[in-house]
Amino acid sequence: KRQQKVKKKKKKKKTTQVGAMAVALIILAAGKGTRMMSDVPKVLHEVAGGSLLVHAMRSGFNLEPERTVVVAGHGAEAVGAATLAYDEDAIVVVQQDQLGTAHAVKQAKDALADFSGDVIVLYGDTPFIQSETLDAMLTAGATADVVVLGFQAADP
């Protein structure tokens, strides 16, 4: 079995602009991945030199989040270990019963109880969202209560 080589994130000094909201990330990583036909948790499957989870964490890294909360479920121990190997400051919470996306997000509530700012929810199995896209979402959030990212395929 090939071992995954993961570069740990480098600590960045916070450069948040005066007046800018703090940002927290919630990364949903509790899914079983039944369609992948593997005992490996879905977010730990490798693509392009890293796990889906690490790619999702990297996507949000450029936002310089004040907190990163990863919601683990299936394979929580392995998902938690992979999370902390990449970002030792991340918080791992466990969704014991997979009761849907909103329930998964709710599992991060205690970890963010004293947080004030914007929260971005990313799917741990959606790895390559560009930082410019997340920046645009934060900008849109300045005039909206909720921002949802979607797309329309040119050739569905």
Residue 55: Cβ within 10 Å count:
20
Q: What H or E segment, with its residue span, contains residue 123? A: strand 118-123
Rounded Cα distance, 31 and 47, in Å: 17
Catalytic residue check, 35 = yes
- Provide CB contacts within 8 A for 75, sequence distance 6+: 40, 41, 44
- Exposed (0-12), middle (13-18) or buried (19+): which is 32, by Cβ within 10 Å? middle
Question: Cα separations (Å) of 28 from 2, 59, 90, 99, 106?
Answer: 25, 13, 13, 13, 11
Question: Which residue out of 2, 35, 58, 67 is catalytically annotated?
Answer: 35
Which single residue is written with the structure tokens 């949903």?
28
Residues annotated as catalytic are: 35
